[in-house]
Amino acid sequence: MEVKAFIEIKENDTGNFQFGLVSGWLDGETVGDRLEFTWDGNDECDPAQGSGWIELKDENTLKGKIKLHQGDKSKFRATRAIE
């Protein structure tokens, strides 16, 4: 079942994400102003992996790109959730 898209990044440059039926955990490294990462997870219950990057645009907004290994790629923009 689809859930609301999210990306969560921890202080140690790891995190979790979900968009559509793609979900996973990521392992990143800060390079300049970017977090470059690889990820491992699922695409519609099938194992999937890939890579991507994230940049902060301002305190509440980030932009990035995520790729599935030998598959689709997508740019995205995310806004901080209000808690």
**How do the domains of the chain map onto residue ranges?**
6-79
pTM: 0.87
Which contacts qualify for 44-48: CB closer than 8 Å, 24 or more apart? 45/21, 48/22, 48/24
Q: Which amino acid is at 29?
A: E
Show pLDDT as tens, one digit a residue, over the chain (83 residues): 568 889 999 999 999 999 888 999 999 999 999 999 999 999 988 999 999 999 999 989 999 999 999 888 999 999 988 76
38's tokens: 């690889």
